[in-house]
Amino acid sequence: MVAGEILLAEGRLETGWWGPAAAAAPTLVLLHQGLGSLGLWRDIPARLAAATGCGVFAWSRLGYGRSDPVRLPRPFDYLRQEAQSVLPRVLEAIGLQQGVLVGHSDGGSIAAIHGGTVEDPRRRGIAVLAPHFFTEAAGLAAVAETRARYEQGDLRARLARHHRHPDIAFHGWCDTWLHPDFPAFFDLRPDIAGLRVPVLAIQGEADPYGSPAQLELLARQAAGPVQVMLLPGIGHDPLLEAPETVLPALRAFTDRLFAVR
Protein backbone atom coordinates (compact mmCIF):
# COMPACT_ATOMS: atom_id res chain seq x y z
CA MET A 1 0.00 0.00 0.00
CA VAL A 2 1.08 3.54 -0.75
CA ALA A 3 -0.15 5.63 2.19
CA GLY A 4 -1.18 9.23 1.68
CA GLU A 5 -3.60 11.94 2.68
CA ILE A 6 -6.15 14.34 1.22
CA LEU A 7 -6.74 17.72 2.79
CA LEU A 8 -10.31 19.01 2.55
CA ALA A 9 -11.77 22.15 4.05
CA GLU A 10 -13.45 19.90 6.65
CA GLY A 11 -10.25 18.07 7.62
CA ARG A 12 -7.59 15.53 6.72
CA LEU A 13 -8.38 12.12 5.23
CA GLU A 14 -6.02 9.16 5.54
CA THR A 15 -5.73 7.32 2.21
CA GLY A 16 -4.20 4.22 0.67
CA TRP A 17 -3.48 3.10 -2.90
CA TRP A 18 -2.76 -0.37 -4.26
CA GLY A 19 -1.76 -1.35 -7.80
CA PRO A 20 -1.58 0.83 -10.92
CA ALA A 21 -1.94 4.59 -10.79
CA ALA A 22 -5.08 6.29 -12.09
CA ALA A 23 -3.40 7.19 -15.39
CA ALA A 24 -2.32 3.59 -16.01
CA ALA A 25 -5.49 1.56 -15.34
CA PRO A 26 -9.08 1.92 -14.14
CA THR A 27 -9.50 2.53 -10.42
CA LEU A 28 -11.73 0.76 -7.91
CA VAL A 29 -12.76 3.29 -5.26
CA LEU A 30 -13.62 1.58 -1.97
CA LEU A 31 -16.23 3.12 0.35
CA HIS A 32 -16.22 1.58 3.81
CA GLN A 33 -19.10 0.59 6.09
CA GLY A 34 -20.58 2.55 9.00
CA LEU A 35 -17.94 1.35 11.48
CA GLY A 36 -15.22 0.76 8.90
CA SER A 37 -11.95 2.49 8.05
CA LEU A 38 -9.01 2.24 5.69
CA GLY A 39 -7.35 -0.39 7.86
CA LEU A 40 -10.47 -2.49 8.31
CA TRP A 41 -10.44 -3.42 4.62
CA ARG A 42 -7.52 -5.66 5.73
CA ASP A 43 -5.98 -7.44 2.71
CA ILE A 44 -8.99 -6.96 0.41
CA PRO A 45 -7.60 -3.96 -1.56
CA ALA A 46 -4.38 -5.80 -2.42
CA ARG A 47 -6.33 -8.90 -3.45
CA LEU A 48 -8.71 -6.80 -5.55
CA ALA A 49 -5.82 -5.12 -7.34
CA ALA A 50 -4.21 -8.49 -8.07
CA ALA A 51 -7.47 -10.07 -9.22
CA THR A 52 -8.69 -7.26 -11.47
CA GLY A 53 -5.58 -5.49 -12.74
CA CYS A 54 -7.14 -2.21 -11.56
CA GLY A 55 -5.74 0.28 -9.15
CA VAL A 56 -7.54 0.33 -5.81
CA PHE A 57 -8.02 3.46 -3.72
CA ALA A 58 -9.50 3.61 -0.21
CA TRP A 59 -9.71 6.11 2.60
CA SER A 60 -11.21 6.65 6.03
CA ARG A 61 -14.10 9.07 5.94
CA LEU A 62 -14.02 11.99 8.37
CA GLY A 63 -14.69 10.68 11.87
CA TYR A 64 -13.18 7.27 11.10
CA GLY A 65 -9.80 5.58 11.23
CA ARG A 66 -6.92 8.07 11.41
CA SER A 67 -8.83 10.78 9.59
CA ASP A 68 -9.87 13.97 11.37
CA PRO A 69 -12.94 13.86 13.64
CA VAL A 70 -16.37 15.33 12.96
CA ARG A 71 -18.81 17.10 15.23
CA LEU A 72 -21.73 15.04 16.50
CA PRO A 73 -24.58 14.45 16.08
CA ARG A 74 -24.33 13.68 12.42
CA PRO A 75 -27.15 15.09 10.29
CA PHE A 76 -29.70 12.63 8.95
CA ASP A 77 -28.49 13.32 5.40
CA TYR A 78 -24.86 12.46 6.16
CA LEU A 79 -24.78 9.78 3.45
CA ARG A 80 -25.99 12.23 0.81
CA GLN A 81 -23.41 14.77 1.96
CA GLU A 82 -20.68 12.17 1.56
CA ALA A 83 -21.95 11.17 -1.89
CA GLN A 84 -22.68 14.60 -3.30
CA SER A 85 -20.13 16.87 -1.59
CA VAL A 86 -17.17 14.89 -0.23
CA LEU A 87 -16.82 12.05 -2.74
CA PRO A 88 -16.61 14.30 -5.86
CA ARG A 89 -13.72 16.21 -4.28
CA VAL A 90 -11.94 12.98 -3.34
CA LEU A 91 -12.24 11.71 -6.92
CA GLU A 92 -10.77 14.97 -8.21
CA ALA A 93 -7.94 14.81 -5.68
CA ILE A 94 -6.86 11.34 -6.82
CA GLY A 95 -7.04 12.25 -10.50
CA LEU A 96 -9.61 9.59 -11.35
CA GLN A 97 -9.68 8.78 -15.07
CA GLN A 98 -12.25 5.99 -15.10
CA GLY A 99 -13.39 3.61 -12.45
CA VAL A 100 -15.95 1.80 -10.34
CA LEU A 101 -17.27 2.69 -6.91
CA VAL A 102 -17.24 -0.33 -4.59
CA GLY A 103 -19.25 0.37 -1.46
CA HIS A 104 -19.99 -1.75 1.60
CA SER A 105 -23.05 -1.09 3.81
CA ASP A 106 -23.13 2.71 4.38
CA GLY A 107 -20.49 2.90 1.66
CA GLY A 108 -22.83 1.06 -0.69
CA SER A 109 -25.53 3.61 0.00
CA ILE A 110 -23.05 6.42 -0.71
CA ALA A 111 -22.02 4.77 -3.99
CA ALA A 112 -25.65 4.40 -5.06
CA ILE A 113 -26.51 8.01 -4.20
CA HIS A 114 -23.49 9.26 -6.14
CA GLY A 115 -24.33 7.01 -9.07
CA GLY A 116 -27.93 8.16 -9.17
CA THR A 117 -27.54 11.88 -8.54
CA VAL A 118 -24.06 13.05 -9.59
CA GLU A 119 -23.11 13.31 -13.26
CA ASP A 120 -19.62 11.86 -13.72
CA PRO A 121 -18.75 10.04 -16.96
CA ARG A 122 -15.61 8.62 -15.36
CA ARG A 123 -17.81 6.39 -13.17
CA ARG A 124 -18.38 3.36 -15.37
CA GLY A 125 -20.26 1.23 -12.83
CA ILE A 126 -20.86 0.64 -9.15
CA ALA A 127 -20.69 -2.45 -6.95
CA VAL A 128 -22.63 -2.44 -3.69
CA LEU A 129 -22.27 -4.97 -0.90
CA ALA A 130 -24.95 -5.11 1.82
CA PRO A 131 -26.20 -1.60 1.00
CA HIS A 132 -29.08 0.20 2.74
CA PHE A 133 -31.82 2.07 0.86
CA PHE A 134 -34.46 2.12 3.61
CA THR A 135 -34.64 1.02 7.24
CA GLU A 136 -35.96 -2.35 8.36
CA ALA A 137 -37.13 -3.23 11.87
CA ALA A 138 -34.79 -6.23 12.07
CA GLY A 139 -31.84 -4.14 10.91
CA LEU A 140 -32.52 -1.46 13.53
CA ALA A 141 -32.76 -4.18 16.17
CA ALA A 142 -29.31 -5.39 15.08
CA VAL A 143 -27.96 -1.85 15.47
CA ALA A 144 -29.41 -1.74 19.00
CA GLU A 145 -27.70 -5.05 19.80
CA THR A 146 -24.42 -3.60 18.51
CA ARG A 147 -24.89 -0.60 20.81
CA ALA A 148 -25.24 -2.95 23.77
CA ARG A 149 -21.98 -4.69 22.79
CA TYR A 150 -20.28 -1.31 22.56
CA GLU A 151 -21.51 -0.15 25.96
CA GLN A 152 -21.24 -3.44 27.85
CA GLY A 153 -18.81 -5.64 25.93
CA ASP A 154 -15.44 -5.41 24.21
CA LEU A 155 -16.55 -3.71 20.98
CA ARG A 156 -15.25 -0.29 21.98
CA ALA A 157 -11.80 -1.68 22.75
CA ARG A 158 -11.75 -3.51 19.42
CA LEU A 159 -12.80 -0.42 17.49
CA ALA A 160 -10.19 1.69 19.31
CA ARG A 161 -7.49 -0.35 17.56
CA HIS A 162 -8.70 1.02 14.22
CA HIS A 163 -10.19 4.44 15.01
CA ARG A 164 -8.40 7.38 16.62
CA HIS A 165 -11.78 8.60 17.89
CA PRO A 166 -13.84 5.43 18.47
CA ASP A 167 -16.71 7.20 20.25
CA ILE A 168 -17.16 9.56 17.30
CA ALA A 169 -17.01 6.69 14.82
CA PHE A 170 -19.51 4.62 16.76
CA HIS A 171 -22.02 7.21 17.91
CA GLY A 172 -21.98 9.04 14.59
CA TRP A 173 -23.32 5.84 13.05
CA CYS A 174 -25.38 4.26 15.85
CA ASP A 175 -27.11 7.34 17.23
CA THR A 176 -28.18 8.44 13.77
CA TRP A 177 -29.68 5.09 12.79
CA LEU A 178 -31.43 4.66 16.14
CA HIS A 179 -32.89 8.16 16.27
CA PRO A 180 -36.69 7.74 16.31
CA ASP A 181 -37.12 10.15 13.38
CA PHE A 182 -34.52 8.54 11.11
CA PRO A 183 -36.68 5.75 9.59
CA ALA A 184 -39.18 8.27 8.20
CA PHE A 185 -36.34 10.35 6.74
CA PHE A 186 -34.17 7.62 5.20
CA ASP A 187 -35.52 6.68 1.77
CA LEU A 188 -33.08 6.39 -1.14
CA ARG A 189 -35.62 5.41 -3.79
CA PRO A 190 -35.42 8.82 -5.51
CA ASP A 191 -31.63 8.57 -5.56
CA ILE A 192 -31.33 5.08 -7.01
CA ALA A 193 -33.97 5.79 -9.64
CA GLY A 194 -31.28 7.79 -11.45
CA LEU A 195 -28.81 4.88 -11.59
CA ARG A 196 -28.04 4.22 -15.26
CA VAL A 197 -24.57 2.64 -15.07
CA PRO A 198 -24.24 -1.13 -14.57
CA VAL A 199 -24.60 -2.23 -10.96
CA LEU A 200 -23.35 -5.38 -9.21
CA ALA A 201 -25.30 -5.87 -5.98
CA ILE A 202 -24.29 -8.52 -3.43
CA GLN A 203 -26.09 -9.41 -0.19
CA GLY A 204 -25.57 -12.11 2.39
CA GLU A 205 -28.80 -13.94 3.13
CA ALA A 206 -27.80 -14.10 6.82
CA ASP A 207 -27.08 -10.35 7.05
CA PRO A 208 -28.59 -9.10 10.34
CA TYR A 209 -28.59 -5.46 9.19
CA GLY A 210 -30.57 -5.86 5.99
CA SER A 211 -32.69 -8.34 4.07
CA PRO A 212 -32.76 -9.22 0.35
CA ALA A 213 -35.57 -6.66 0.08
CA GLN A 214 -32.84 -4.02 -0.16
CA LEU A 215 -31.54 -5.49 -3.43
CA GLU A 216 -35.03 -6.23 -4.70
CA LEU A 217 -35.81 -2.52 -4.38
CA LEU A 218 -32.58 -1.61 -6.16
CA ALA A 219 -33.34 -3.95 -9.06
CA ARG A 220 -36.84 -2.45 -9.44
CA GLN A 221 -35.87 1.19 -9.07
CA ALA A 222 -32.58 1.54 -10.96
CA ALA A 223 -32.80 2.76 -14.53
CA GLY A 224 -29.85 0.66 -15.68
CA PRO A 225 -28.88 -3.03 -15.47
CA VAL A 226 -28.54 -4.57 -12.02
CA GLN A 227 -26.92 -7.95 -11.37
CA VAL A 228 -28.03 -9.35 -8.00
CA MET A 229 -26.13 -12.00 -6.05
CA LEU A 230 -27.58 -13.46 -2.83
CA LEU A 231 -25.09 -15.51 -0.83
CA PRO A 232 -26.52 -18.26 1.44
CA GLY A 233 -25.10 -18.36 4.95
CA ILE A 234 -23.18 -15.09 4.55
CA GLY A 235 -23.67 -12.16 6.92
CA HIS A 236 -23.00 -8.45 6.65
CA ASP A 237 -19.49 -8.52 5.12
CA PRO A 238 -19.49 -10.59 1.92
CA LEU A 239 -15.95 -9.55 0.89
CA LEU A 240 -14.38 -10.77 4.13
CA GLU A 241 -16.72 -13.72 4.67
CA ALA A 242 -16.81 -15.09 1.11
CA PRO A 243 -13.83 -13.70 -0.83
CA GLU A 244 -13.68 -16.85 -2.94
CA THR A 245 -17.09 -15.86 -4.38
CA VAL A 246 -17.04 -12.07 -4.26
CA LEU A 247 -13.54 -11.41 -5.66
CA PRO A 248 -14.23 -13.39 -8.87
CA ALA A 249 -17.59 -11.63 -9.21
CA LEU A 250 -15.89 -8.24 -8.97
CA ARG A 251 -13.23 -9.38 -11.43
CA ALA A 252 -15.87 -10.49 -13.93
CA PHE A 253 -17.74 -7.20 -13.44
CA THR A 254 -14.65 -5.06 -14.11
CA ASP A 255 -13.66 -7.27 -17.04
CA ARG A 256 -17.01 -6.56 -18.68
CA LEU A 257 -16.54 -2.84 -18.15
CA PHE A 258 -12.85 -2.44 -18.94
CA ALA A 259 -11.24 -5.69 -20.18
CA VAL A 260 -8.07 -4.70 -18.31
CA ARG A 261 -6.51 -8.15 -17.87
CA–CA distance, 261 with 50 (Å, rounded to integer): 10
CA–CA distance, 115 with 76 (Å, rounded to integer): 20
- Predicted confidence at residue 202, as pLDDT, reads 98
Fold of 2-254: Rossmann fold (3.40.50)
Contacts of 81 (CB under 8 A, 6+ apart): 75
DSSP per residue, 10-26: TEEEEEEEESS-TTTS-
- Predicted confidence at residue 219, as pLDDT, reads 97
Q: What is the pLDDT of residues 215-250, one digit of tens each?
A: 999 999 999 999 999 999 999 999 999 999 999 999
Q: Which of 189, 227, 250 is nearest to 45 (CA)?
A: 250
Max distance between CA atoms of the chain, in angstroms, equals 49
Confidence label for 261 from pLDDT (cuts 50, 70 and 90): very low
> What's the mean per-residue pLDDT of the chain?
97
- Predicted confidence at residue 259, as pLDDT, reads 72
C-alpha atoms less than 13 angstroms from C-alpha of 82 in its C-beta half-sphere: 26
Q: What is the mean pLDDT of residues 204-212?
A: 98
Q: What is the mean pLDDT of residues 47-54?
A: 97
- Predicted confidence at residue 206, as pLDDT, reads 98
- State the DSSP code for 47: H
Q: What does the domain layout of the chain look like in residue ranges?
A: 2-254
Confidence label for 18 from pLDDT (cuts 50, 70 and 90): very high
Query: Distance from CA of residue 131 to its chain's centroid?
Result: 8
Q: What is the pTM of this model?
A: 0.97
Q: What is the pLDDT of residues 80-135, one digit of tens each?
A: 999 999 999 999 999 999 999 999 999 999 999 999 999 999 999 999 999 999 99
